Amino acid sequence: MSSSDPKTRPKPVTRPPAPVPPSSWAKRTGFKPKFSGETNASDSGQIALPPRSRENENQPDLEAGRARPVPPVVNGEQPVSEKGPAEKDQSVKKRREADGTNKGSSAAAANGHTVNNGAAPQPQQPTRRPSRNEDVVDVLPQNVDDEGFVGRHSHMKYELRDTPGLVPIGLYGFQHYLSMLGSLILIPLVIVPAMGGTYEDTANVVSTVLFVSGVTTLLHSFFGSRLPLIQGSSFVFLAPALAIINSPEFRGLNGNNFKHIMKELQGAIIIASAFQTLLGYSGLMSLFLRLINPVVVAPTVAAVGLSFYSYGFPQVGNCLEIGAVQILLVIIFSLYLRKISVLGHRIFLIYAVPLGLVITWAAAFLLTEAGVYSYKGCDTNIPSSNIVSEHCRKHVSRMKHCRVDTSHAFKSSPWFRFPYPLQWGTPVFHWKMAIVMCVVSIIASVDSVGSYHASSLLVSSRPPTPGVVSRGIGLEGLSSILAGLWGTGTGSTTLTENVHTIAVTKMGSRRAVELGACVLIVLSLVGKVGGFIASIPEVMVAALLCFMWAMLAALGLSNLRYSEAGSSRNIIIVGLSLFFSLSIPAYFQQYGISPNSNLSVPSYFQPYIVTSHGPFRTKYEGVNYIMNTLLSLHMVIAFIVAVILDNTVPGSRQERGVYVWSESEAARREPAVVKDYELPFRVGRIFRWVKWVGL
Other C-beta atoms within 10 Å of 53: how many? 10
CA 631 to chain centre: 23
- What are the Cα distances from residue 661, in Å, to 32, 108, 296, 469, 611? 11, 20, 16, 9, 40
Specify which of 120-124, 171-175, 225-229, 661-665 reaches the highest per-range mean pLDDT: 225-229
The mean-pLDDT minimum among 104-113, 443-452, 645-654 falls in 104-113
**265-314 pLDDT per residue, tens:** 999 999 999 999 999 999 899 899 999 999 999 999 999 999 888 888 88
Which one has a higher pLDDT value, 568 or 52? 568
pTM comes to 0.77
The pLDDT of residue 572: 96
Q: Is the pLDDT of residue 124 over 80?
A: no
- What are the Cα distances from residue 327, in Å, to 42, 171, 253, 312, 614? 32, 27, 37, 11, 35
Specify which of 40-44, 237-241, 602-606 reaches the highest per-range mean pLDDT: 237-241
The mean-pLDDT minimum among 331-345, 614-628, 647-661, 678-692 falls in 678-692
Following CA atoms 557, 559, 562, 568 in sequence, which dihedral angle do they give, to the nearest 10 degrees? -30
The pLDDT of residue 388: 53
Distance CA 468, CA 280 (A): 10
Distance CA 509, CA 459 (A): 8
Percent of the chain with pLDDT over 90: 39
User: What kind and span of H or E run contains 233?
Assistant: strand 231-233
Query: What ranges do the domains of the chain cover?
Result: 166-377+389-562
Work out the end-to-end distance of the chain between its first and last CA atoms, rounded to an integer number of angstroms. Answer: 58
Identify the band that residue 319 occupies on the pLDDT scale cut at 50, 70 and 90.
confident
- What are the Cα distances from residue 239, in Å, to 252, 260, 304, 622? 22, 19, 8, 19
- Tell me what percent of the chain is helix, strand and coil, each rounded to the nearest 5: 60, 5, 40
Identify the band that residue 64 occupies on the pLDDT scale cut at 50, 70 and 90.
very low
**480-522 pLDDT per residue, tens:** 999 999 999 999 999 988 888 888 888 888 998 999 899 999 9
Q: Is the pLDDT of residue 36 over 80?
A: no
